[in-house]
Structure 1
Amino acid sequence: TGKYKVFIIDEVHMLSKAAFNALLKTLEEPPAHAIFIMATTESHKVPETVVSRSQRFDFRRVSKRDILKLFELVLKEEDISIAKEALSLLADAAEGSFRDALSLLDQVISFGAKKITVEQVEDALGITRISSSQNFLSLLISGNDSGAVKFVKDLAVEGRDLMQFTRNFLEYLRLVLFVKVGVESASELGLSSDDAEQLRGQSSEITSARLLEIIRRVLEAYRESRQTPVPELPLLVAILSLGPVKATVTGVPVLSPAVSRQRKDPADAPNLNLALGKIMEQWVEVLRRVKEYNHSLISSLRLGRLIELNGDELLIAFPYNFHKETVDARKNRIVIEQVLEEVYAAPLRIKVLVERELKNEPATAFPPKDDLLGEALRILGESGG
């Protein structure tokens, strides 16, 4: 017998209301010799009255590197050899949990072999390596619907867990998104040099609009996969609902040879300023979508005045340098250009300047002191509308 009695309640959020009330009475006047440890993965379901009488510790997911170190210790003790790529698959499938990692490793070790290959791990657990996600994304980027459908069909025939594959694919799309917007570089993600190089290439090749559309469709497929009686059906629907890929070269729409010949003479080129009317018609939708991505950015963007559309470059003028620099920040520019591509179904770039620059006058960093109130009223008035 020890000095203290420790009570561990796992998944405490599953307690009934009556059970929580009983527990609360004990927590209000806890015995000196008792320690209660309550664990949960859904803390928002625990009553505030219980949370306020406890000390809260939030644990983060374990890194893939730490899980691999744990595998190394266990395998050395058990004198078992598992391919590095297979261990990487297991670490990814564990989703940051030591417990799940050891459980998966135990399943693999139960094969009884002293040397375990990637293929054995894939067959046993129904999971797929990162190259499968890369190959699938390549098919979607190129718009090869028949190839993508055959890919999913082959996974089903091989007995792969399609729900797990969809989850793995969403994780890979997250990495592509990170690399594309510059949050992380491919070399920092713990991938092999070949996988990192392919990830880098795919993030450069795919447009932001196409990437977001794929993520949305695959997310829908993942949600529906929990209820469908035909495992491959949600993914097949996602493939066919993506639609054709718009051919582009360096962000400019590809013209047919006949059109190209017609436009060799600059005098024959259409007046692209006329298209500015369409931009203005849907500008409210652009502002609405930008607000969903970045609520603070919209206060500066809505002050911009659309000047002209020159090719694929949209010129926007702002009253002061502060607004111009806010919109021109790299992360904000990416969001705006991404939304423009979504709304107008064409890759557009923005060029920003200050109104005074149009008149060849020196730009002002902030509104003059005597105009601060008017500027504030303008922003608040527009946001209220």
Structure 2
Amino acid sequence: MGYQALYRVWRPQQFIDVVGQEHVTKTLQNALVGQKVSHAYLFSGPRGTGKTSAAKILAKAVNCEHAPTSEPCNECATCRGITDGSISDVIEIDAASNNGVEEIRDIRDKVKYAPNAVTYKVYIIDEVHMLSQGAFNALLKTLEEPPKHVIFILATTEPHKIPLTIISRCQRFDFKRIQPQDIVGRMSQIIAETGVSCDEQALHIIARAAEGGMRDALSLLDQAISFSSETVSVEDALTVTGSVSQAFLSRLAKAIYDKEVAVALEVLEELLAMGKDPARFIEDMIYYFRDMLLFQTAPALAESFERVLIDPQFKELAEVISSESIYSIIESFNQTQQDMKWTNHPRIFLEVALVKLCNEQRPNQIDNGQLQQLQQKIEDLEKKLLEMQKNGIPAAMAEKPAEQAKAQRAVKKSYKAPAGKINQVLKQATKPDLNAVKSKWGEVLEQLGLQNQKSLAALLTEAEPVAASTEAFVVKFKYDIHCQMAMENNRFVEVIASIMQQLTGHRMEIAGVPESQWQRLREDFISTQQFDGPEETESKEEDPFIAEARKLVGDDLLEIKE
């Protein structure tokens, strides 16, 4: 047979060879030794983490001639037959190409037959989430109560696509992404046994690029070995993985910190000339600054770093770049990464991001001169405070002017509704006029929007007409500040009058009153006026229900709505 890829040659043949999944392998080994093997398993997790390999190892272990055992011997006829695929009782099915109802019905019909050469007939269904709904339904009953000599092992990268009725019939094991240090350890073992020379740092680069998948790591290592001449160097690993050298990342980070736009763009030009992908480059930059932030806050977590190796240049930058700057840089690069997905010119977005970062003011940046000035001012203020206390002037005296100024500002901010104007409107107010204004109120807000007067319309969002005559109307505002801003704005008053003239055919003036003052003004007007009705909202004889309510809660808590 010709050359085989590394991930095929070094496929795990025992549980001990499955890297980074001890929580799965230990459970399965205990079940094998205790003869508590379930009838159905579900292995889920990212690609290349050992799901199918663990399934085949489990199939060998339950059928090994030395069973019960925690590991297959890989020497007996059964283990060798399952490994080379000559034993037909271990059936490996690709659900991506056999996802129909007929294929599953065929399995359902054959499971009742006893195995020919081994103790258990094992069905390994890979990418089981690709089965159709009908195929899942056909599998349900067989999966729940198969014959005693049958074991189902389902493997998937997308468990959320599998019906819960299937998942509940299986023992589920979640395979996790393999840590970079575990991948490096496995690759070092393979390198040692194959006799290939490889730089240690190159292995770390390949492990980080694999993103937690051992198969991907071995494929990249295989490619790097083919690409290199004698020794797999760091540059070989960077070229194969498409990653950017940390030296370039550090140069670019320093240029951003030093605000040197020309240097940053020069580094970017070099990288793009080397054929680096802009999307991969910006991802490397995000991880670089992410690792820098982790190094600042938790140096002990160096093993969890995604892209960087701790060198003197990285340490130097981590000491001078503040956490706030790193937050801003990561946020900017992340937004640029999102924008680059929807353009045919990602380089432009990348260049703009670099120029923007180099021109940004560093947050909370205070030079030594400014810091000394602030310290001197603080010392002067402390001396003055001590002198005042020695002279018998209490510290509260210093606070009094500030309190008086605050009170004056509060008085200035309060708004008093024009009671005379409102009383004049109430004298002539009628219910039909009020209903006419209310019916046009929505159109008033709409006209403000059409005239690009959104700021004026915002003042009326929680306001409503409460009284109207033929010449004017009263609007009640929920907040005093909104009423003040509206009524003190001559342009606002003129625009509302103009719109009302367009809608009603005659000009109507507006009077504003805060909700907190409206009830008092209305009650004062009713108590001083004796009338039978221009305003239909009040009458001489009060409704008996309202009178009784007034006795129970008083005028302050009583609110009468039409």
Aligned to 1:215: 330
Report the CA distance between 1:105 and its aligned residue.
0.7
After TM superposition, the structure 1 = structure 2 runs for residues 1-385 of structure 1, keeping only pairs within 5 Å, are 1-111=117-227, 113-182=229-298, 184-185=299-300, 195-242=310-357, 244-247=359-362, 253-254=366-367
- In structure 2, do the counterparts of structure 1 residues 202 and 149 end up closer, same or farther at CA, with 3 Å as the change threshold? same
CA distance in 2, matches of 1:26, 1:143: 67
> Is the 8 Å Cα contact of residues 262 and 268 (structure 1) preserved in structure 2?
no
C-alpha distance after superposition, 1:96-132 (max 9, x if no partner): 2111111111111223733232223323332223333
Report the CA distance between 1:92 and its aligned residue.
1.1
**Structure 2 residue matching 1:6: 3-state secondary structure:** strand
Report the CA distance between 1:159 and its aligned residue.
0.8
CA distance in 2, matches of 1:118, 1:235: 26
> Is the 8 Å Cα contact of residues 178 and 212 (structure 2) preserved in structure 1?
yes
> Is the 8 Å Cα contact of residues 279 and 340 (structure 2) preserved in structure 1?
yes
So what's the TM-score if we normalise by structure 2?
0.41
- In structure 2, do the counterparts of structure 1 residues 135 and 262 end up closer, same or farther at CA, with 3 Å as the change threshold? closer
Q: Percent identity?
A: 34
> Is the 8 Å Cα contact of residues 8 and 37 (structure 1) preserved in structure 2?
yes
CA distance in 2, matches of 1:192, 1:226: 22
**Structure 2 residue matching 1:77: 3-state secondary structure:** helix
Aligned-residue RMSD, C-alpha: 3.7
CA distance in 1, matches of 2:126, 2:339: 29
> Is the 8 Å Cα contact of residues 336 and 349 (structure 2) preserved in structure 1?
yes
- In structure 2, do the counterparts of structure 1 residues 150 and 12 end up closer, same or farther at CA, with 3 Å as the change threshold? farther
What is the one-letter code of the residue matched to 2:190? V
- In structure 2, do the counterparts of structure 1 residues 142 and 44 end up closer, same or farther at CA, with 3 Å as the change threshold? farther
Moved more, 194-203 or 118-127: 194-203
So what's the TM-score if we normalise by structure 1?
0.58
Number of positions where the alignment pairs a residue of Structure 1 with one of Structure 2: 268
C-alpha distance after superposition, 1:162-220 (max 9, x if no partner): 333333333222222222333x4376568999834444433332223221222222223
The unaligned stretches of length 5 or more in structure 2 are 1-116, 383-398, 407-562
Report the CA distance between 1:82 and its aligned residue.
1.7
CA distance in 1, matches of 2:262, 2:232: 34
What is the one-letter code of the residue matched to 2:329? I
Report the CA distance between 1:227 and its aligned residue.
4.6
**Structure 1 residue matching 2:209: 3-state secondary structure:** helix
CA distance in 1, matches of 2:314, 2:273: 27
- In structure 2, do the counterparts of structure 1 residues 161 and 198 end up closer, same or farther at CA, with 3 Å as the change threshold? same
- In structure 2, do the counterparts of structure 1 residues 24 and 191 end up closer, same or farther at CA, with 3 Å as the change threshold? closer
What is the one-letter code of the residue matched to 1:211? I
CA distance in 2, matches of 1:21, 1:30: 15
Aligned to 1:300: none
What is the one-letter code of the residue matched to 1:254? D
CA distance in 1, matches of 2:283, 2:365: 33
- In structure 2, do the counterparts of structure 1 residues 156 and 35 end up closer, same or farther at CA, with 3 Å as the change threshold? farther
CA distance in 2, matches of 1:130, 1:97: 22
CA distance in 2, matches of 1:186, 1:200: 14
What is the one-letter code of the residue matched to 2:207? A
CA distance in 1, matches of 2:262, 2:291: 25
Report the CA distance between 1:55 and its aligned residue.
1.2
CA distance in 2, matches of 1:198, 1:54: 51
**Structure 2 residue matching 1:8: 3-state secondary structure:** strand
> Is the 8 Å Cα contact of residues 224 and 234 (structure 1) preserved in structure 2?
yes
Greater gyration radius:
2
- In structure 2, do the counterparts of structure 1 residues 220 and 192 end up closer, same or farther at CA, with 3 Å as the change threshold? closer
CA distance in 1, matches of 2:190, 2:145: 43
CA distance in 2, matches of 1:10, 1:220: 37
Report the CA distance between 1:148 and its aligned residue.
2.4
> Is the 8 Å Cα contact of residues 288 and 308 (structure 2) preserved in structure 1?
no
